[in-house]
Amino acid sequence: MAQTYDDRKIVKAYRDLAREVVKREDLYRLMDQSALKEQTQHWLQKFQEREITERDRIYIFALVREAARRTVGLEAVMVQLIGAFVLGDGKIAEMKTGEGKTLVSLFVMYIEILRGNKVHLVTANEYLAKRDREEIGRVLEYLGLSVGLNVSGLDKEQKQAIYKADVIYGTAAEFGFDYLRDNMVRQVEDKVQTSLDFVLIDEADSILIDEARTPLLISDRKEEDLTLYGVADTLVRTMLTDDYEVEEKKRFVWLHDAGIEKAQRFWGIDSLYAEEHQPLHRITTLLLRAHFLMHKDKDYVVLDGEVLIIDPHTGRALPGRRFNDGLHQAIEAKEGVEVREESRTLATITVQNYFRMYKKLSGMTGTAKTEEEELRQIYNMDVVVIPTHLRVNRMDNADEVFYTREQKGEAIVYEVSWRYERGQPILIGTSSIKSNEWVSGLLSKAGIPHQVLNAKNHEQEAEIIARAGKRGMVTLATNMAGRGTDIKLDKGVYTLGGLAVIGTERHESRRIDLQLMGRSGRRGDPGFSKFILSLDDELVDHFDNKRWESYVRRMKRKYNFDDKPVHSRKVHQLVIEAQKRLEGSNYDIRKDLIAYDEVIDIQRKKVYEERDRLLGIDKLGAFSERILREVAEDVFSEREPDLDVRYAKMGELLGGTKFPYSFDQVTLMSQEEAEEASFSGIGNNERNSQ
């Protein structure tokens, strides 16, 4: 995204500060490591007494710059220092891929520690968290700070040790789940997460926007008859096209009259919609959704006998995540794997509400300006576009749109083949495993050797990416290769035009397209990008407009055998408009989700606050008495208006003539039993007194 006038003004002010940092590079150059470590203690002590000034930031950034030069051999350039100042002010820095965002993070993390804050750095996945902790964490350790890595699968003691560190690397999900788990413990010493002071989010748009559609859930197993899923699967497999209707765009499927009659005969019931048969109706609907709305290798993948959800934004499998409300069990029955028990939600929070609990928040990404309005509304964060250190030397070509999928396939093979023959490395992006395998089949048929990266072989990601920039290498990847991956080029391919990126579909968001394009032309390298599309693509199919649909059908009939791309502004506008509509639709979903969760959030915070207070009480007697007194006041105010409960002894209310139940008996009662006992006890006493 290009810089706005406001961006240029902000960057100019920060550039002046960055120049001052560079001027002080000699100040720390002659110091040894022990002297640099002493600087950390010097600043920590100083900022206990006063706030950090702009002048302080200049000296601190110069210190970090020198430490990074010594430990990892990287010296922050002007634009990286500008990005650091932006992050320090609680904004999102949009920095193009390859501009060194990871190094930039060092400066703001260090200065927040000096402010006395615990620092959490959130990455898009655990692979990046481990990589950055190993590479960049060394600089912080060189300066005398502690660095931890928060990943899944650790026990309580390991987690508690990690959270004692000054800086903790991890994923949004792991930090969020730790928060939820902490609010389910029975003893305060079992908590692991410390204060939520400052969080720096890498790939901020992906985490704060894309992942915001899926709330974080902790659940346990719910007992039910799992055999019904297999039985319902048998029913749905007998359904013919006249038995049901599928509305893919609205993600809805329903039975026609013929299908309803077939289901009723199958289950041996008079009405599928009768209240007593609601469980059968529910499970039939779930299997219909599993068969006709959920697609293997697109929405999920089956690995080692387990159904794993695929993240639509990253293309990665999500171990441990399951679809809710029985849908996951329905898919398991459809795929013939073990059907596991349905879960019930014990604790949940949205990504938005979790991160808004931090005292301070900032982020960095290669693509965020297009979503600045949403980021400002929800997180109160502005986006500042940082200029590149070197001019972007990538040729971004106009989309080629074909009428049919077959024509598109031929164009992809042609584009890849001539570039492959001259030795240019090529990265082909697809939106799903299914389309990934389709393109792979086309390339194999054409005799073009290639390597494939998707959720099925994610464990080979590092090796595949390491080879992707070599001469003559063709790499076919889902969105997994879109973020956080640095494809290093062989020296011999620069004269061939660098890495060629070919997109085979436009995604639901322009940001994901830009991330794919950004794999090429990094740090001034030459590069090329182009999208090859068709009017059969899923994105275009989502465009719910009768006039457009009629126009597309006419064009397909007219040019079905034409292998040339469409030369129509109208068709190209259709693709752009379809993408904008989907972005708008997804934004509405996120708005609705946070609006719903904000109501729950008020209650969640109140319950968790009260729960924390209880965990800190050694003896619950006084607390229980207060609660019982409040209940008693409500009960007796109507029946005994002359009794002032506030000054009555509990003995007068509990176990006495007014209420013939002991304290211990009351604590074991359910709410309904207590209310019934309250009124029956009073009633009996009233009758006895008459």
Residue numbers in the known binding site for ATP are 80, 98-102, 486
CA distance 566 to 399: 10
Structure tokens at 97: 């891929």
Structure tokens at 476: 């076919």
CA distance 382 to 623: 45
* Inter-helix orientation angle 546-559/569-615, to 10°: 130
SS3 289: helix
Q: Are 538 and 457 in contact (CB under 8 A)?
A: no
Q: Are 499 and 489 in contact (CB under 8 A)?
A: yes
CA distance 404 to 143: 59
Q: Are 623 and 617 in contact (CB under 8 A)?
A: yes
* Strand intervals (E) in 111-197: 119-123, 147-150, 167-171
- Residue 676 to residues 30, 624, 680, Cα–Cα distance (Å): 80, 19, 6
CA distance 471 to 407: 28
Sheet bearing 92-94, strands edge to edge: 147-150, 167-171, 119-123, 198-202, 360-365, 92-94, 383-385
CA distance 110 to 37: 12
CA distance 360 to 90: 7
Q: Which residues are annotated as a binding site?
A: 80, 98-102, 486
Q: Around 320, how many Cα atoms within 13 Å sit in the side-chain half-sphere?
A: 9
How many other C-beta atoms are found inside a 10 Å radius of the C-beta of residue 327?
Answer: 18
Instruction: Label each residue of 466-506 as H, E or C.
Output: HHCCCCCCEEEECHHHCCCCCCCCCHHHHHHCCEEEEECCC
Phi, psi of 344 (to 5 degrees): -120, 140
CA angle 151, 156, 162 (to 5 degrees): 50
C-alpha torsion angle, residues 132, 138, 140, 142 (rounded to 10): -170
* Strand intervals (E) in 151-187: 167-171
| Cβ within 8 Å of residue 97, ≥6 positions away | 366, 515, 518, 519, 522
CA distance 345 to 680: 36
Structure tokens at 283: 């499970």
CA distance 59 to 367: 30
Q: Are 121 and 200 in contact (CB under 8 A)?
A: yes
- Residue 206 to residues 59, 178, 252, 593, Cα–Cα distance (Å): 33, 20, 27, 17
CA distance 644 to 648: 6
CA distance 645 to 690: 23
Nearest to 151 by CA among 170, 165, 176, 131: 170
Structure tokens at 148: 């931890």
Question: What are the residues facing 148 on neighbouring strands?
Answer: 168
* Inter-helix orientation angle 569-615/372-379, to 10°: 20
